[in-house]
Structure 1
Amino acid sequence: MSTEPGLFIGLMSGTSLDGVDGVLLESPGDAQPKVQAHAALAFPAGLREECLALNAAGFDELHRSALAARQLVDLYAEVIAALLHASGVRASSVRAIGAHGQTVRHRPDLGYTVQINAPALLAERCGITVVADFRSRDVAAGGQGAPLVPAFHRAVFAMPGVDVAVLNLGGFANLSLLFADGRTSGFDTGPGNALLDHWAQRHLGQPYDAQGEWAAGGVVQADLLAQFLADPYFSRPAPKSTGRDDFHPAWMERHLRTLKASLSPQDVQATLAALTAHSVAQALLRAMPGVCNLVVCGGGARNTDLLSRLQQMLPNVTCLLSDDRGIPAEQVEAAAFAWLSQQTLLGLPGNLPSVTGAAGPRVLGAIYPA
């Protein structure tokens, strides 16, 4: 835990591309950090589509990504203004903003990860020091650059003498494993909401399947699920991380084409939900067989069908939302990057080599002074 108190802002726009979440985090020294305010803004449709397009090679990518980064900072600045207004806090009282940026490429196997962002512009706009580019230093040290949230999860969700796992259900799912003996591990398990959202948008015309109601009415197709789960990623040992570079609509369509019979879109949605639940549950039971408690956060924590599937696969595990542990599910990742910005300013490591596989602890991020 950090030892110097202060107020920090964290901003997160994850792989679900649904919008920006921001929190004002009070870090009171040795006590547990507390969220003082939360604000969120949806992505404009054009920015969402551009960020999706930038996940693949295309025309004039450098120019387009620079313009998208400026649009993203416009959203960031609005979220920050809303946080300051809601809390009555002045910008001068905030020590730093942790701005993760929007991941458009993640290839630690090739030594790079790319988050579009314009942190210098954000510092100029808001008059607050900005910390950004958190993942690159870990990748430079031979790590995956992800997940970076397990250290924060241990600070806020660990329980003495008990094995606790924390599941973040964003566009992709990741686990933090907080062992009773003090060890911490973690990794990406595979798809979370990303493929579910894509399929709902395509067939329902909605950005997501609200509470998983559509998936709940479908029938899981065992052959398709087995094909999905045969992907080598799921059996690969940690440390590991993934994203749209590995699991994307074309990956899904390739598996659908191999089936002799056509499937109803609703049954495909049910099977995609089963893919997320199976890949999480299987990974968790392999990595932490003595797990007693699973704390779930991220936007997918509001997917009632998905949580029901998880609980069925984990009958001996108590599954609860992070809300019950003091931080609403949508706020956890933004809070983590606020906390990581504090680590950076204090010159303290933000990564865990046991999670990312980096050569050692590293101070993460680049600092853009106010």
Structure 2
Amino acid sequence: MIYFDNSATTIPYPEVLRTYQEVASKIWGNPSSLHRLGSQAGQLLEASRQQIAALLAKQPNEIFFTSGGTEGDNWVLKGVAFEKQAYGNHVIVSDIEHPAVKESAKWLVSQGFEIDYAPVNKAGFVDLKALEQLIRPETILVSIMAVNNEIGAIQPIKAISDLLADRPTISFHVDAVQAIGKIPLEDYLTDRVDFATFSGHKFHAPRGVGFIYKKAGKRITPLLTGGGQESDLRSTTENLAAIAAMAKALRLVFDKDAANLSKIAAMKERLFNELSRYEDVILFSANQDFVPNIVTFGVKGVRGEVLVHAFEEHDIYISTTSACSSKAGKPAGTLISMGIPKSLAETAVRISLDDDNDMEQVQQFLTIFKEIYHKTSKVR
């Protein structure tokens, strides 16, 4: 099997699974309980929080655990909007955000908020001048993803941070789900960022666990009320085994970072160069200002899902750009926003690499692609 769908979800590291199993079987007290078992669980919970905070160069009281990226995006968009409603009702998100952000923004419209969508240029990057022109006195939140999940474009978070530097009344949220282990921390978690969303299963942790970063002093409406967990902001018994495993995964990713990126970048370059040789292949991703692990391309006249299933027959797994919306059968929203014609956007497929992959797999993929390409000649 060749698994080239790591932007959808990664395979948990063996060490991470061992941590999960050990915690689940040995430390099963409720962290909120007063007895010794509860104290033991509570100490591990806070140790995990401290480790994550240290790896991100933040403070433990700025880390709040969630069930993943979708929950985190929903919480920040809605929680910040309602918390700051007395000061304004205008929110800006980019036109290429993940559905967790865009759908949350659409829901906010039904609650009386006004939403503007910052456009992107033909390469897939947020247009800074257009973004600046959208800002109003009543703007309370700007939400921009760090790395686009469909084509891998690294968004200009530093430049947006500079744009918002003298506008302290505007909260700045970054969806960093695709950024961990792919680009330097300082490129997307700047001092100007007030909130950031992370999802464990994107960096070899179990599914169903994540966290948000909330800058100290920034306010957000509670997501869940009840027992008072997570500083009264998300009341539910913590998934301790998954949280501890996620902290382990984050440390491993940071430890492997430099070597991994070099290896992954070499695989992307090989794929990029070989695919570009085919006359009817369109490359939607690029190398400069794009993450090293994503190659998005299409074959003219061949729908993306056809390619996905053709590769699946050879036990090779890729995706039609976004796992969260692929079953809807819609073309990649990012490509449409870039001005790509729908007929070409519908051909898009995404290869997303990780350190589990190697150059031998890349070569096997290219061999199978050559076969598939020639078989689709009549369609093209």
Looking at CA atoms only, which structure, 1 or 2, has the larger radius of gyration? 2
Per the TM superposition, whether the score is higher than 0.5 is no
As a proportion of its length, which structure holds more strand? 1
* TM-score, reference length from structure 1: 0.26
